[in-house]
């Protein structure tokens, strides 16, 4: 395919998969249960962080977290007491364990009480969004924390494609027009987003000739960003739906 044909094909597939039906089996369904901005942010962040493994197990674990937070994540984050955190003892989602989740809850409280919330933290500074993820991680772990817990937030400046954080940012920033993403963060332009690169989107991108690098890492993400922004400079990450859908559902 030439560039015009490629863009037409990906636009068609992006439109096909960015639909309400997409939500049914996707972790994004968890924050869609809420209407308050802060509830959406927290539910989305925690659901994205554990988004690896089968979709069934991701949804089961995310629903369990919301249940343990009494279906009011923002209120729980702000008002929980140390004794309340015992409720999370025994929680496990693959390598994300109870001590990791407990620290995440403490850190989120610190972010909302002392840093103005998740949106402000990701919106601060003139550096690019991948560098802001790096700065976010530094702030997120400014409290005393288990050493093992740091691995659960990736760092683009250390070579990671940071798939789960980039997915969370897509959810928060992209328009809600088609009923999938939320568009509740107005201080970040969709043009600055990066695709949540995973095995499906990476493999399809290589087959289409828009990604050469074999590893799904920060360098591959940068390479893909450049290509997708040429196809759509304002909303390059809409093509996540096309690449992921082609790989996960059509085995392209």
Token pair listed for 95? 């390598």
Confidence category of residue 163, pLDDT binned at 50, 70, 90: very high
**Nearest-5° angle of CA 219, CA 162, CA 2?**
50
Q: Would you state the pLDDT for residue 25?
A: 84
61 closest CA partner among 142, 52, 70: 52
CA–CA distances in Å: residue 101 to residues 87, 144, 150, 226: 11, 14, 11, 35
Q: Would you state the pLDDT for residue 22?
A: 85
pLDDT at 177 over 90: yes
pLDDT at 110 over 80: yes
Mean pLDDT of 202-209: 97
- Report the distance separating Cα 168 and Cα 154, nearest Å: 13
Residues 85/105, Cβ–Cβ less than 8 Å = yes
- Report the distance separating Cα 151 and Cα 80, nearest Å: 25
Confidence category of residue 182, pLDDT binned at 50, 70, 90: very high
pLDDT at 249 over 80: yes
Mean pLDDT of 110-137: 94
Q: Would you state the pLDDT for residue 126?
A: 76
Burial of 251 (0-12, 13-18, 19+ CB in 10 A): exposed
- Report the distance separating Cα 109 and Cα 70, nearest Å: 16
Q: How many CA atoms lie within 13 A of 15 on its CB side?
A: 6
Q: How many CA atoms lie within 13 A of 12 on its CB side?
A: 6
* Mean of per-residue pLDDT scores for the chain: 96
- Report the distance separating Cα 154 and Cα 149, nearest Å: 11
- Report the distance separating Cα 156 and Cα 154, nearest Å: 7
Q: Would you state the pLDDT for residue 24?
A: 85
Sorted by sequence, the CB contacts under 8 Å of residue 138 that are 6+ apart come out as none
Q: Would you state the pLDDT for residue 11?
A: 97
Mean pLDDT of 141-167: 97
Confidence category of residue 127, pLDDT binned at 50, 70, 90: confident
Q: How many structural domains comprise the chain?
A: 1
Of all helices (H) and strands (E), which one includes residue 173?
A: helix 163-173
Radius of gyration of the CA atoms of the chain, in A:
18
Confidence category of residue 124, pLDDT binned at 50, 70, 90: confident
The percentage of the chain sitting over the pLDDT mark of 70, rounded to a whole number, equals 100
- Report the distance separating Cα 120 and Cα 164, nearest Å: 19
Full domain range(s) for residue 152: 3-248
- Report the distance separating Cα 185 and Cα 143, nearest Å: 26
Q: Would you state the pLDDT for residue 1?
A: 80
Mean pLDDT of 174-187: 96
* Predicted structure pTM score: 0.96
pLDDT at 150 over 80: yes
């Amino acid at each position: 395919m030439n560039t015009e044909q490629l863009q037409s094909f990906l636009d068609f597939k992006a439109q096909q998969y960015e639909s309400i039906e997409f939500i049914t089996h996707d972790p994004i369904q968890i924050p869609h249960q809420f209407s308050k901005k802060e509830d959406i942010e927290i539910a989305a962040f925690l659901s994205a962080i554990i988004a690896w493994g089968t979709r069934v197990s991701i949804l089961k674990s995310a629903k369990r977290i919301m249940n343990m937070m009494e279906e009011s994540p923002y209120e729980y984050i702000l008002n929980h007491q140390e004794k309340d955190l015992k409720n999370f003892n025994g929680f496990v989602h693959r390598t994300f364990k109870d001590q990791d989740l407990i620290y995440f809850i403490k850190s989120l409280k610190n972010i909302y009480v002392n840093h103005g919330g998740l949106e402000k933290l990701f919106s601060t500074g003139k550096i690019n969004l991948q560098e802001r993820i790096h700065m976010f991680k530094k702030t997120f772990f400014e409290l005393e924390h288990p050493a093992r817990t740091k691995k659960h937030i990736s760092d683009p400046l250390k070579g990671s494609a940071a798939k789960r954080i980039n997915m969370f940012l897509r959810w928060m920033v992209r328009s809600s027009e088609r009923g999938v993403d939320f568009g509740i963060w107005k201080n970040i332009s969709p043009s600055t987003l990066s695709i949540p690169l995973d095995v499906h989107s990476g493999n399809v991108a290589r087959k289409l000739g828009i990604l050469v690098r074999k590893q799904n890492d920060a360098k591959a993400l940068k390479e893909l960003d450049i290509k997708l922004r040429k196809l759509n400079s304002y909303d390059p990450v809409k093509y996540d739906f096309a690449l992921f859908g082609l790989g996960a559902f059509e085995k392209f």
